[in-house]
A and B are shown apart, each in its own frame.
Chain A
Amino acid sequence: QKEVEQNSGPLSVPEGAIASLNCTYSDRVSQSFFWYRQYSGKSPELIMSIYSNGDKEDGRFTAQLNKASQYVSLLIRDSQPSDSATYLCAVGPGPGRGDMRFGAGTRLTVKP
């Protein structure tokens, strides 16, 4: 079982729609969760971090965390063509157990 799994996509949504990206993780003691956006040929840039169960909103982005289900998601409202990129879910392990693990990423295309 992969440590961090994401829908491989590609995911295509029309401009203005809501894009929903999902991620599950295997390590129950994970405590920190991140969403990164990576444009082709570029390095990842941080979009959101979330540490507690529930929703966290930042502009058009909402991260949702459910530790009981080992599930974290990212919603992008009013999707724009500039949101077209690969979105990486990253999970930090429990205390003292090392560093983040990344999912394979979900490729999102927002069509004008």
Chain B
Amino acid sequence: GAVVSQHPSWVICKSGTSVKIECRSLDFQATTMFWYRQFPKQSLMLMATSNEGSKATYEQGVEKDKFLINHASLTLSTLTVTSAHPEDSSFYICSAVTGGYSTDTQYFGPGTRLTVL
């Protein structure tokens, strides 16, 4: 149980284009999902907390107009990187909690590797 999927697993795009990444909880309902970014040899950096039916909460320094998050259902959250630039190239990972409380165990998706040319 507690399986989280992400799609796509990798994507290459041109600078200035937008990329959408999907995060799905396959066997449970997730009222809260998290989006992380990880640069090579660095730890996970939380970007935003996604709550079903409400606006996402962004961490300080993360541009909400650039990283659009939509949590339209209890099993799906999407992250759209708008007008992507090479510095946005990174490993994007989502996670979901099985309970309704944010400190419940987080289960991670397999990640999406974004390369912006």
Chain B CB within 8 A of A81 CB: no
B18: chain A residues within 8 A (beta carbon): none
A44 to B91, CA, bound (A): 12
Instruction: Let me know if A18 is at the binding interface, CB within 8 A.
Output: no
Interface SS of A by simple majority: loop
Given contacts A99-B49, A104-B43, contact A43 B109 (CB under 8 A): yes
Q: Per-position contact with A for B29-69: 1 when CB-CB < 8 Å, else 0?
A: 00000100000001110100100000000000000000000
* A105 proximity list for chain B (CB < 8 A): 43
| One of A32, A88, A98 near B49 (C-beta < 8 A) | A98
**A99 CA to B58 CA, complexed, in Å:** 12
Considering only residues 10-69 of chain A, those with a C-beta below 8 Å from chain B are 31-32, 34, 36, 41-46, 49
Number of interface residues of A (CB under 8 A): 24
> Given the known A-B contacts A32-B103, A88-B43, A88-B44, are A99 and B109 also in contact in the complex, defined by CB atoms under 8 Å?
no
The answer to whether B49 touches A43, judged by C-beta atoms less than 8 angstroms apart, is no
Is there an interface contact between A42 and B110, defined as CB atoms closer than 8 Å? yes
Min CB distance, B11 to chain A, in Å? Answer: 15
Within the complex, the shortest CB–CB distance from B33 to chain A, in Å, comes to 11
- Do A102 and B44 have beta carbons less than 8 Å apart? yes
Residues of A within 8 A of B110 (CB): 42-43
B37 to chain A, nearest CB (A): 12
Q: Is the CB of A43 within 8 A of B103?
A: no
Instruction: Select which of A34, A46, A49, A99 is within 8 A of B46 by beta carbon.
Output: A99
B73 at the interface (CB under 8 A from A): no
* Contact of B103 with A93 in the complex, beta carbons under 8 Å: yes
The distance in angstroms between the C-alpha atoms of A41 and B110, with both chains bound, is 9
- Please measure, in the bound complex, the distance between the C-alpha atom of A61 and the C-alpha atom of B109, giving whole angstroms: 23
Excluding A43-B111, A99-B34, 16 further A-B contacts by CB distance (< 8 Å) are A31-B103, A41-B91, A42-B111, A43-B108, A43-B109, A44-B44, A44-B93, A46-B106, A46-B107, A88-B43, A95-B103, A99-B102, A99-B103, A103-B43, A104-B43, A105-B43
Q: A residues engaging B (CB < 8 A)?
A: 31-32, 34, 36, 41-46, 49, 88, 90, 92-93, 95, 98-105
